[in-house]
Amino acid sequence: MSTVSTVSTENTMRAISQDVLGGPEVLKKVRLPRPEPRANEVLVRVRAAGVNPTDWKHRATGGFLGEPPFVLGWDVSGVVEAVGVGVARFRPGDEVFGMLSYPYGHGSHAEYVTAPARVFAHKPAAVDHVQAGALPLVSLTAWQALVETADLRPGQRVLIHAAAGGVGHVATQIAKARGAYVIGTASAGKHDFLRGIGVDEAIDYRATDFAEAVKDVDVVLDTIGGDTSVRSLRVLRPGGLVVSILPVGSNEFYEEAERLGVRALRMLVDSSHGGMRAIAELVESGRLRATVAETFPLADAARAHALGETGRTTGKLVLLMD
């Protein structure tokens, strides 16, 4: 996307872009042409958009996106402004939420975004745009890891790393909705929060080695990667599964799993209308809610990135367009 500052304000939008890789200071408020929906796409006026670790990682390294300029952001909650040819699911005025196609459909940190209609679902009436904007990426990640990949069932034991984080606190609620027994890791100061969202057993990772304290687990959700992925294999019962949401890492993860007689998988979240509908149903039933640590106006995206990179937030950070 161009970041030319001479674009007329007519048919344009505010967005947060960057021309170089680096720290939060490289994020700039710019005006870009407002996109138009193509066939099977919708144009959404963004009301709120979550900020996730993948945003600041891409800002700093380029990640899947390579060299800038680009507009980050995958979470969306907003209102359909226009629909392209062939779209039957939505009409202008519908409130929707969803995750833009990951990783190459980025661009929700802007006032408008176009995307395939299939990535959205109707926003649950039970929550506002801030809540809905916080949920898509973390909820789809947790749903696809625990339900679609691990087939988590009632009575099974699941270990969720960083259970107070963005993915972790949502995964905990999804696991409880599935009837699982949940063990969660977090610093001691967050244990009351964990109990409040349904964690059955909280472990202070700073004081306790989870690989020694936990055993006979059916599923581990690894949100950390590295050595944590490998060590998590040791807490599984025979045939158990570690699902890591870090898509790359050493082959030791798979080699150790084979040696121990357990399973190891890495995954990358994918857009899904069906997944978003399932998440919407959990929200409507009161079984899933995002904890929003703080909201920021769009112009303060750099502050949101800086706070997120501290690794000390509980729940989600959200940008507001209004």
pLDDT of residue 6: 42
Residue 85 burial by Cβ neighbours in a 10 Å radius (0-12, 13-18, 19+):
exposed
pLDDT of residue 322: 80
- Global pTM reads 0.94
Reading the chain (322 residues) residue by residue, the pLDDT tens digits are: 334 344 446 699 999 999 999 999 999 999 999 999 999 999 999 999 999 999 999 999 999 999 999 999 999 999 999 999 999 999 999 999 999 999 999 999 999 999 999 999 999 999 999 999 999 999 999 999 999 999 999 999 999 999 999 999 999 999 999 999 999 999 999 999 999 999 999 999 999 999 999 999 999 999 999 999 999 999 999 999 999 999 888 999 999 999 999 999 999 999 999 999 999 999 999 999 999 999 999 999 999 999 999 988 999 999 999 8
Asked if residue 50 lies in contact with residue 143, where contact means CB atoms within 8 angstroms, the answer is: no
Q: Where in the chain is the domain with CATH 3.40.50.720?
A: 138-266
CATH 3.30.565.10 fits 12-135+290-320, yes or no: no
Q: Where in the chain is the domain with CATH 3.90.180.10?
A: 12-135+290-320
Topology of domain 138-266, CATH:
Rossmann fold (3.40.50)
Segments of the chain assigned E as strands:
12-18, 28-33, 41-51, 70-71, 75-83, 95-99, 112-116, 120-122, 157-160, 181-186, 201-204, 217-222, 236-244, 263-266, 292-297, 316-320
d(CA 30, CA 170) in angstroms, rounded, equals 33
Q: Tell me which residue of 71, 75, 72 sits closest to 129, measured CA to CA.
A: 75
Full strand arrangement of the beta sheet holding 12-18 = 28-33, 12-18, 70-71
